[in-house]
Structure 1
Amino acid sequence: MKRILTALALAAAVFAGPAQAQDDFPNRPIRLVVPFAAGGSTDIVARIIAAKMSEILKQQVVVDNRGGAGGNLGAAAVAKAAPDGYTVLMGTVATHAINPALYTKMPYDPVKDFAPVSLLVNVPNVVVVHPSLGVKTTAELIALLKANPDKYEYASSGVGTPLHLSGALFESMAGVKMVHVPYKGAGPAMLDLVGGQVKIMFDNLPSAIGHIRKGSITGVAITTKERSPAAPDLPTVSESGLPGYETYSWNAIFAPAGTPMPIIDKLAKAGAEAVADPDVKAKLADISAVSVGAGPAELAAHVKAELAKWGPVVKASGASINE
Structure 2
Amino acid sequence: MKKWFICKAAAAALLGCMSMQPGFAQDAVAAWPDKPVHLIVPFAAGGSTDLVARRVGEALGKEIGQPVVVENKAGAGGTIGASYLTRQPADGYSLMIGTISTHAIHPSVFKSLPYDIFKDFTPITMVGTIPDLIVVNPDVPAKTLGEFIALAKSKPGEITYASGGPGTSSHLGSEYFAYEAGIKLNHIPFKGSGPALIDVLGGHVDMMLDVIMTSLEPVKNGRLRALAVTSSSRSPLMPDVPTVQEALGLKDFEAIIWFAIYAPAEMPAALQNKIASSLDKVLHAPDMEKFLLSQGIEVVGEGPGQLAKRSRLDYEKWKKVVEISGFQPQ
* TM-score, normalised relative to structure 1: 0.94
Match of 1:284 in 2: 292
Aligned partner of 1:4 in structure 2 is none
Q: Distance in 2 between matches of 1:139 and 1:84?
A: 52
Cα distance in 1 for partners of 2:137, 2:154 equals 18
Q: Contact 2:152–2:185 (CA<8 Å) still a contact in 1?
A: yes
8 Å contact kept, 1:272–1:293: yes
Change (3 A) 1:79 1:131: same
Matched, 1:68 2:78: no
CA distance in 2, matches of 1:85, 1:194: 44
Q: Does 1:109 align with 2:116?
A: yes
1:297 pairs, out of 302, 305, 311, with: 305
1:263 deviates by 1.0
Other structure's SS at 1:201 match: strand
2:9 is aligned to none
Shift in Å at residue 37 of structure 1? 0.6
Size of the alignment, in residue pairs? 317
Please give the secondary structure, in 1, of the residue aligned with 2:162.
Answer: strand
- Matches of 1:11 and 1:222, distance apart in 2: 53
Gaps of 5+ in 1: 1-6
Offset from partner CA, 1:1-49 (integer Å, 9 cap, x none):
xxxxxx9999876653332111111111111111111111111111111
Of all paired residues, the percent bearing the same amino acid is 38
- C-alpha spacing 1:297/1:195, structure 2 compared with 1 (3 Å): same
Q: Structure 1 residues 11, 110: closer, same or farther in 2, change over 3 A?
A: closer
Which deviates more, 56-65 or 200-209?
A: 56-65
Report the alpha carbon displacement of residue 316 of structure 1 after superposing the two structures with TM: 2.1
Deviation digits for residues 123-176 of structure 1 (CA, Å, limit 9, x no counterpart):
111100011112122211111111211011100111100011110101111111
In the alignment, structure 1 residue 132 sits paired with structure 2 residue 136:
no
> Relative to structure 1, is the Cα distance of residues 112 and 12 closer, same or farther in structure 2, using a 3 angstrom cutoff?
closer
Deviation at 1:303, TM superposition (A): 0.6
Task: Give per-residue Cα distances to partners, 1:73-125, cap 9 Å, x unaligned.
Answer: 11111122111111111111101111100000111101011111101110111
User: TM-score by structure 2 length?
Assistant: 0.92
Give yes or no for contact 2:123–2:262 (8 Å, CA) kept in 1.
Answer: yes
Match of 1:251 among 249, 259, 263: 259
2:92 to 82, 85, 96: 85
Once the 2 structures are TM-superposed, how far is the Cα of residue 314 of structure 1 from its aligned partner? 1.2
Deviation at 1:242, TM superposition (A): 4.6
Unmatched tracts of structure 2, length 5 or more: 1-13
Give 3-state SS (helix, strand or coil) of 1:150's partner: coil
Residue equivalent to 2:36: 29
Q: Which residue of 2 aligns with 1:163?
A: 170
CA gap 1:32/1:240 in 2 versus in 1, 3 angstroms: same
Residue 313 (structure 1) aligned with residue 321 (structure 2): yes
Aligned 8 A contact 2:173 2:209 in 1: yes
**Quick one: structure 1 residues 320 and 34, their matched pair in 2 at CA, closer, same or farther if it must change by over 3 Å?**
farther
Which residue identity is paired with 2:52? V
User: Is the 2:92–2:263 Cα contact (8 Å) retained in structure 1?
Assistant: yes
Q: What residue is the counterpart of 1:267 in the other structure? A: 275
Q: Which runs of 4+ in 1 moved over 4 A?
A: 7-15
Matched residues in 2 for 1:241 and 1:147: separation? 18
Q: Let me know the Cα RMSD of the aligned residues.
A: 1.8
Q: Describe how 1:213-228 pairs up with structure 2 within 5 A.
A: 213-228=220-235
Paired residues of 1:78 and 1:89 also in contact (CA < 8 A): yes
